[in-house]
Structure formats: structure tokens, C-alpha cells
Structure 1
Amino acid sequence: MALKQLQLLAKVQLEKEEKLQAQFVQAHQFAQLAVEKYTGLANYRTDYIRQSQQRGAEGIASRQFNQYLNFITKLDQALTQQNMQVQQAQRVADMRRSAWLAMQKKRKALDLLIDKELQAAYVRVQKQEQKMLDEMATQQFFRRLQATEQ
């Protein structure tokens, strides 16, 4: 494959890699937000239970106690749902990270191929220049030899 084509392909792969990296960063940030929401909700639940226990120690009506229990049940359901969102967001972030790293690996392999091609081209040019210098030296030698013979 021609060097120009390889370089164009590397440019395209770099653009894809950057796009995949941006998608990973976005997914990772979303997962972090989901974790923060979960943590906030869990902390709120803990505080709410502590508060309800304090009020319960002071004595509350059974109706109010049932309201506390119902709300805690709703908080537990919300925590379960948020935990599922955290897990889903982390799976998406992991998949996007894998895709980004796979593209990065392909691009690096292509960069290595380009480097090898450039090195091979450099060696070819050096050999051609050396051959040309050798020919010029040989021609000069024969000219001098003919000049001395005359």
C-alpha cells in the first residue's frame, strides 16, 4: 500500500479514535453521575431512617410509623432502580472504553507500519544515492585514467 494511502488511513483512524475517546469520556461521566445520585440517595435513606428512629424513640402514632415504613420502602425501590442505572452506565462506559482502546491499538499498529515504510523508503533513497555516487566516482576514475593515457 502506498505511503500516502497509509497516512490517509491513519488520519481517518485517528479521527475515529478521538470520537470513540470522547464517547468513552461522556459515558464515564454519566456513570460517575449515576454513582453520585446513588450515593446521595443512600445517604438520604440513612438520614431518614435515623430521623425516624429518633422520632420513634420519642413515641409516634402507628399511622405515622406506617408512613415512615412506606417511604423507606419507596427509597429502597429508588435505590434498586438507581443501582441498575449505575450498573448499566458502567457497562456502557466499559464497552466504549474497549472500543476506544481497540481503535487506539489499530492506529498504533498502522503508525508502526507507516514508520517501517518510511524507514524502508529512506533506505532505498540512501542506496540510490550511494549507487549514483559510486557511478560518479567510477566515471571520474575512468576519465582520469583516460586523461593520463593520452
Structure 2
Amino acid sequence: MANSKVKRFEMLVELAQDELDKAQETFIAVRQQLESSQEQLDSLQDYHTNHLSKIHNEKEVTTAQLQTTQAFIDNVNKAILSQKDQITQLTHVLEKAQETWIEKRARHQSLKNIHLKLKRDERVKLDKQEQKMLDELASQQFFYSKSSE
């Protein structure tokens, strides 16, 4: 019976490891998405800054150019705001993924510790049984050798 309990816990540890692996993969994927989004935001902000400085450096700007540039800058600003919103959302998703990963890691470690304790207890029990059998065998051999004398 105890051996089947050890086997059941072994299965639970394996399942917990699978869940932990999936949680870790999710965490890594979301973190990479967040890093990519941050890089895109940085690029948009650099582009915005460079474009504005280019316009400021021009000596003569027509009204049409100014209107076109303003419309373009507005679009870039919208893209920057959208990117910031995406980063905020991904940050929340990343925090949740990290919490899930921490929970799965703690569960896996707990189950692993219980499994190891069960295995140790089973080993101690088997060692005691083996020692008892050896003691009984030695005792029987002793009495057998005494009775045959």
C-alpha cells in the first residue's frame, strides 16, 4: 500500500512539474512580448523626436507642410499612446504569469518534498522489515544449530 502511495505522489510530482514548465514558458513568452513592445515604443519615441527636430531645423515651412507634419505627428502620438497602453496591459499579464509561476513552483516543491519523505519512510520501513527477517533467520539458525548438537 505504501509503495502505491509513493507511486501516486510520484505522478503528482510529474504533473506539477509539467504545470510548472508551462507556467515558466508562459512567463518567458509574455516577458519577451513586453520587451519587444518596449523596444517598439522606444523606436516610436525616437522617431517622433527626430522628426520634430528635423522640422525645427528647416528654415522655411509652408502651411501645407506644417499641416501635413502636424497630422503625421498626431498619428505618431496616437501610436505612442497605443503602445503605452499595450505595455501597461502586458505588464499586468506578466505580473499574473509570474504569480502563477511562483505558485506552481511552490506546489511542485511541496509535492516533491512529500514524495521524498514518503520514499525515505518506505525505505526505513523496508530496512526494518529486512533487519527483522535477518534477525529471525539468525535466531532460527542459532536454535537449529543448538538443537542439532
After TM superposition, the score normalised by the length of structure 1 is 0.88
What does residue 109 of structure 2 align with?
A: 108
**Deviation per residue, 1:69-122 (Å, 9 max, x gap):** 332233222211111101111211221122122112101110111100000010
Deviation at 1:14, TM superposition (A): 1.6
After TM superposition, the score normalised by the length of structure 2 is 0.89
- The answer on 1:33 being equivalent to 2:13 is no
- The answer on 1:128 being equivalent to 2:129 is yes
Rounded Cα–Cα distance in structure 1 between residues aligned with 2:84 and 2:48: 14
What does residue 24 of structure 1 align with?
A: 27
Rounded Cα–Cα distance in structure 2 between residues aligned with 1:134 and 1:4: 30
**Deviation per residue, 1:30-83 (Å, 9 max, x gap):** 11111111111011001101111111xx12224423432332233222211111
What does residue 10 of structure 2 align with?
A: 7
Rounded Cα–Cα distance in structure 1 between residues aligned with 2:112 and 2:15: 12
Q: Describe how 1:1-150 pairs up with structure 2 within 5 A.
A: 2-55=5-58, 58-148=59-149
Rounded Cα–Cα distance in structure 2 between residues aligned with 1:129 and 1:13: 34
Letter in 2 for 1:111: K
* RMSD of aligned alpha carbons: 1.6
Percent identity reads: 25
Structure 2 runs not aligned, ≥5 long: none
Rounded Cα–Cα distance in structure 1 between residues aligned with 2:25 and 2:63: 54
Runs of 4+ in structure 1 displaced over 6 angstroms? none
Q: Tell me the SS of whatever aligns to 1:95.
A: helix
Structure 1 runs not aligned, ≥5 long: none
Number of matched pairs: 146
